[in-house]
Protein backbone atom coordinates (compact mmCIF):
# COMPACT_ATOMS: atom_id res chain seq x y z
CA UNK A 1 0.00 0.00 0.00
CA UNK A 2 2.83 2.39 0.86
CA UNK A 3 4.54 1.66 -2.44
CA UNK A 4 1.37 2.38 -4.41
CA UNK A 5 0.63 5.58 -2.48
CA UNK A 6 4.16 6.96 -2.77
CA UNK A 7 4.34 5.99 -6.45
CA UNK A 8 1.15 7.98 -7.09
CA UNK A 9 2.58 10.92 -5.15
CA UNK A 10 5.88 10.76 -7.06
CA UNK A 11 3.99 10.67 -10.36
CA UNK A 12 1.99 13.73 -9.30
CA UNK A 13 5.17 15.63 -8.43
CA UNK A 14 6.81 14.72 -11.72
CA UNK A 15 3.70 15.90 -13.56
CA UNK A 16 3.74 19.19 -11.67
CA UNK A 17 7.29 19.76 -12.87
CA UNK A 18 6.05 19.72 -16.45
CA UNK A 19 3.00 21.98 -15.97
CA UNK A 20 4.58 25.45 -15.35
CA UNK A 21 6.01 25.68 -18.88
CA UNK A 22 2.50 26.64 -19.99
CA UNK A 23 2.37 29.65 -17.65
CA UNK A 24 3.13 33.03 -19.23
CA UNK A 25 5.56 34.77 -16.89
CA UNK A 26 7.59 37.88 -17.58
CA UNK A 27 9.30 40.55 -15.54
CA UNK A 28 6.22 42.73 -15.93
CA UNK A 29 3.60 40.13 -15.11
CA UNK A 30 3.69 37.40 -12.47
CA UNK A 31 0.51 35.35 -12.13
CA UNK A 32 -1.08 35.56 -8.70
CA UNK A 33 -1.19 31.75 -8.68
CA UNK A 34 2.59 31.69 -8.20
CA UNK A 35 2.40 33.93 -5.15
CA UNK A 36 -0.44 31.79 -3.77
CA UNK A 37 1.67 28.67 -4.35
CA UNK A 38 4.58 30.25 -2.48
CA UNK A 39 2.35 31.17 0.43
CA UNK A 40 0.98 27.63 0.62
CA UNK A 41 4.46 26.08 0.62
CA UNK A 42 5.81 28.42 3.30
CA UNK A 43 2.74 27.88 5.48
CA UNK A 44 3.23 24.11 5.18
CA UNK A 45 6.79 24.49 6.42
CA UNK A 46 5.84 26.61 9.43
CA UNK A 47 2.65 24.75 10.35
CA UNK A 48 3.72 21.18 9.69
CA UNK A 49 7.44 20.61 9.04
CA UNK A 50 8.92 22.87 11.71
CA UNK A 51 6.71 21.54 14.54
CA UNK A 52 7.45 17.98 13.42
CA UNK A 53 11.15 18.78 13.20
CA UNK A 54 11.13 20.00 16.80
CA UNK A 55 9.05 17.12 18.14
CA UNK A 56 10.70 14.27 16.29
CA UNK A 57 14.21 15.58 16.92
CA UNK A 58 13.61 15.98 20.66
CA UNK A 59 12.03 12.52 20.95
CA UNK A 60 14.83 10.94 18.95
CA UNK A 61 17.53 12.65 20.98
CA UNK A 62 15.82 11.70 24.23
CA UNK A 63 15.65 8.05 23.18
CA UNK A 64 19.28 8.02 22.14
CA UNK A 65 18.47 7.60 18.43
CA UNK A 66 19.77 11.01 17.34
CA UNK A 67 23.16 12.58 18.05
CA UNK A 68 21.70 16.09 17.99
CA UNK A 69 18.85 18.09 19.50
CA UNK A 70 16.11 20.36 18.17
CA UNK A 71 18.53 23.31 18.10
CA UNK A 72 20.92 21.32 15.90
CA UNK A 73 18.07 20.41 13.57
CA UNK A 74 17.19 24.07 13.20
CA UNK A 75 20.85 24.81 12.53
CA UNK A 76 20.79 22.34 9.63
CA UNK A 77 17.67 24.06 8.30
CA UNK A 78 19.56 27.34 8.47
CA UNK A 79 22.47 25.78 6.58
CA UNK A 80 20.08 24.67 3.84
CA UNK A 81 18.83 28.23 3.56
CA UNK A 82 22.38 29.61 3.41
CA UNK A 83 23.41 27.11 0.72
CA UNK A 84 20.57 28.06 -1.62
CA UNK A 85 21.16 31.75 -0.97
CA UNK A 86 24.77 31.27 -2.01
CA UNK A 87 23.63 29.71 -5.28
CA UNK A 88 21.28 32.63 -5.86
CA UNK A 89 24.11 35.13 -5.39
CA UNK A 90 26.31 33.21 -7.83
CA UNK A 91 23.58 33.41 -10.46
CA UNK A 92 23.00 37.14 -9.92
CA UNK A 93 26.71 37.88 -10.16
CA UNK A 94 26.94 35.92 -13.39
CA UNK A 95 23.85 37.67 -14.79
CA UNK A 96 25.37 41.06 -14.06
CA UNK A 97 28.41 40.09 -16.13
CA UNK A 98 25.99 39.37 -18.99
CA UNK A 99 24.31 42.76 -19.06
CA UNK A 100 22.94 43.17 -15.57
CA UNK A 101 19.51 41.73 -16.32
CA UNK A 102 18.01 39.29 -13.80
CA UNK A 103 16.90 37.20 -16.77
CA UNK A 104 20.23 37.23 -18.60
CA UNK A 105 21.60 33.81 -19.46
CA UNK A 106 24.14 32.63 -16.92
CA UNK A 107 27.36 30.91 -17.84
CA UNK A 108 26.74 27.30 -18.96
CA UNK A 109 28.92 25.88 -16.23
CA UNK A 110 27.05 27.85 -13.58
CA UNK A 111 23.74 26.67 -15.04
CA UNK A 112 24.97 23.09 -14.73
CA UNK A 113 25.99 23.66 -11.09
CA UNK A 114 22.58 25.17 -10.32
CA UNK A 115 20.81 22.28 -12.03
CA UNK A 116 22.88 19.74 -10.11
CA UNK A 117 22.01 21.42 -6.80
CA UNK A 118 18.32 21.43 -7.59
CA UNK A 119 18.49 17.82 -8.79
CA UNK A 120 19.78 16.85 -5.34
CA UNK A 121 17.02 18.97 -3.77
CA UNK A 122 14.32 17.30 -5.87
CA UNK A 123 15.74 13.84 -5.14
CA UNK A 124 15.54 14.71 -1.44
CA UNK A 125 11.88 15.67 -1.85
CA UNK A 126 11.22 12.43 -3.72
CA UNK A 127 12.95 10.37 -1.04
CA UNK A 128 10.99 12.02 1.77
CA UNK A 129 7.74 10.79 0.24
CA UNK A 130 8.50 7.56 2.09
CA UNK A 131 8.93 9.49 5.33
CA UNK A 132 5.38 10.83 4.97
CA UNK A 133 4.04 7.38 4.07
CA UNK A 134 4.67 6.20 7.65
CA UNK A 135 1.75 8.31 8.83
CA UNK A 136 -1.85 8.70 7.66
CA UNK A 137 -2.56 9.12 3.97
CA UNK A 138 -3.49 12.76 4.58
CA UNK A 139 0.12 13.45 5.64
CA UNK A 140 1.46 12.15 2.32
CA UNK A 141 -1.25 14.00 0.37
CA UNK A 142 -0.58 17.40 1.97
CA UNK A 143 3.18 16.96 1.57
CA UNK A 144 2.72 16.13 -2.10
CA UNK A 145 0.44 19.13 -2.63
CA UNK A 146 2.82 21.52 -0.82
CA UNK A 147 5.88 20.31 -2.72
CA UNK A 148 3.97 20.32 -6.01
CA UNK A 149 2.98 23.97 -5.73
CA UNK A 150 6.50 24.74 -4.47
CA UNK A 151 7.77 23.41 -7.80
CA UNK A 152 5.87 26.20 -9.56
CA UNK A 153 8.11 28.84 -7.99
CA UNK A 154 11.26 26.81 -8.58
CA UNK A 155 10.37 26.18 -12.21
CA UNK A 156 9.69 29.83 -13.01
CA UNK A 157 12.90 30.95 -11.31
CA UNK A 158 15.05 28.43 -13.20
CA UNK A 159 13.30 29.21 -16.46
CA UNK A 160 14.02 32.94 -16.04
CA UNK A 161 17.69 32.36 -15.27
CA UNK A 162 18.59 29.57 -17.66
CA UNK A 163 15.96 29.72 -20.42
CA UNK A 164 16.98 27.36 -23.26
CA UNK A 165 19.18 25.11 -21.14
CA UNK A 166 16.40 24.54 -18.64
CA UNK A 167 13.60 24.16 -21.22
CA UNK A 168 15.49 21.60 -23.29
CA UNK A 169 17.31 19.62 -20.60
CA UNK A 170 16.91 20.95 -17.08
CA UNK A 171 13.29 20.17 -16.38
CA UNK A 172 13.71 16.58 -17.54
CA UNK A 173 16.72 16.17 -15.25
CA UNK A 174 14.58 17.35 -12.33
CA UNK A 175 11.79 14.94 -13.26
CA UNK A 176 14.37 12.16 -13.25
CA UNK A 177 15.71 13.36 -9.88
CA UNK A 178 12.27 13.04 -8.29
CA UNK A 179 11.96 9.50 -9.64
CA UNK A 180 15.49 8.61 -8.50
CA UNK A 181 14.78 9.93 -5.01
CA UNK A 182 11.57 7.89 -4.80
CA UNK A 183 13.29 4.76 -6.10
CA UNK A 184 16.11 5.18 -3.60
CA UNK A 185 13.59 5.39 -0.78
CA UNK A 186 12.00 2.15 -1.97
CA UNK A 187 15.13 0.10 -1.30
CA UNK A 188 17.30 2.18 1.02
CA UNK A 189 16.36 3.15 4.57
CA UNK A 190 18.72 5.71 6.05
CA UNK A 191 19.39 6.08 9.80
CA UNK A 192 17.02 8.37 11.70
CA UNK A 193 19.82 10.88 12.24
CA UNK A 194 20.31 11.24 8.46
CA UNK A 195 16.55 11.44 7.93
CA UNK A 196 16.28 14.24 10.49
CA UNK A 197 19.03 16.13 8.69
CA UNK A 198 17.22 15.69 5.38
CA UNK A 199 14.02 17.12 6.85
CA UNK A 200 15.98 20.09 8.17
CA UNK A 201 17.57 20.82 4.80
CA UNK A 202 14.15 20.67 3.15
CA UNK A 203 12.79 23.26 5.60
CA UNK A 204 15.61 25.70 4.82
CA UNK A 205 15.33 25.13 1.09
CA UNK A 206 11.57 25.72 0.87
CA UNK A 207 11.69 28.91 2.93
CA UNK A 208 14.62 30.50 1.09
CA UNK A 209 13.53 29.53 -2.43
CA UNK A 210 9.98 30.77 -1.87
CA UNK A 211 11.00 34.08 -0.33
CA UNK A 212 13.66 34.82 -2.92
CA UNK A 213 11.01 34.37 -5.60
CA UNK A 214 8.50 36.60 -3.79
CA UNK A 215 10.41 39.44 -2.11
CA UNK A 216 12.66 41.05 -4.80
CA UNK A 217 10.85 43.95 -6.57
CA UNK A 218 11.58 42.54 -10.03
CA UNK A 219 9.68 39.36 -9.12
CA UNK A 220 6.40 41.32 -8.86
CA UNK A 221 5.20 39.15 -5.97
CA UNK A 222 1.60 39.70 -4.93
CA UNK A 223 0.71 40.01 -1.27
CA UNK A 224 -2.98 39.09 -1.38
CA UNK A 225 -2.51 35.80 -3.29
CA UNK A 226 0.49 35.02 -1.06
CA UNK A 227 -1.64 35.57 2.05
CA UNK A 228 -4.43 33.59 0.43
CA UNK A 229 -2.11 30.64 -0.08
CA UNK A 230 -1.13 30.81 3.59
CA UNK A 231 -4.81 30.94 4.61
CA UNK A 232 -5.63 27.95 2.39
CA UNK A 233 -2.82 25.88 3.91
CA UNK A 234 -3.87 26.86 7.43
CA UNK A 235 -7.46 25.76 6.81
CA UNK A 236 -6.36 22.51 5.15
CA UNK A 237 -3.85 21.57 7.83
CA UNK A 238 -5.92 22.60 10.86
CA UNK A 239 -7.89 19.36 11.21
CA UNK A 240 -4.96 17.07 10.40
Question: What's the pLDDT tens digit per position in 193-203?
Answer: 788 888 888 98
- Report pTM: 0.83
- Please, where are the H alpha helices in 166-238? 171-187, 192-214, 223-237
Contact between residue 196 and residue 75 where contact means Cβ atoms under 8 Å apart: no
Q: Which range has highest mean pLDDT (9-13, 90-94, 162-166)?
A: 9-13
Q: Of residues 171 and 20, which shows the higher confidence score?
A: 171
Residue-wise pLDDT tens digits, 124-147: 999 999 999 888 899 999 999 999
Task: pLDDT band for 90, please (50, 70, 90 cuts).
Answer: confident
Q: How many CB atoms lie within 10 A of CB 166?
A: 23
SS3 26: strand
Alpha-carbon gap, residue 61 to 69, rounded angstroms: 6
Residue-wise pLDDT tens digits, 21-35: 555 444 444 567 788
Q: Please provide the average confidence, as pLDDT, over all residues in the chain.
A: 80
Phi, psi of 25 (to 5 degrees): -130, 130
Domain spans in the chain, listed from the N-terminal domain onward: 33-237
Q: In the beta sheet, which residues pair with residue 29?
A: 26
Amino acid sequence: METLATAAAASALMSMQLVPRHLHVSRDHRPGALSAAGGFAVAYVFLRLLPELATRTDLGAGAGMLPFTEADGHFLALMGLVAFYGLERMVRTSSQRHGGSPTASAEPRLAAVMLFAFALYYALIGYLLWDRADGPLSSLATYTLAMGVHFLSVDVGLRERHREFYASTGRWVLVGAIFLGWMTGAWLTVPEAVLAGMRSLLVGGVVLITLQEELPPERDGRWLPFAGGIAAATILLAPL
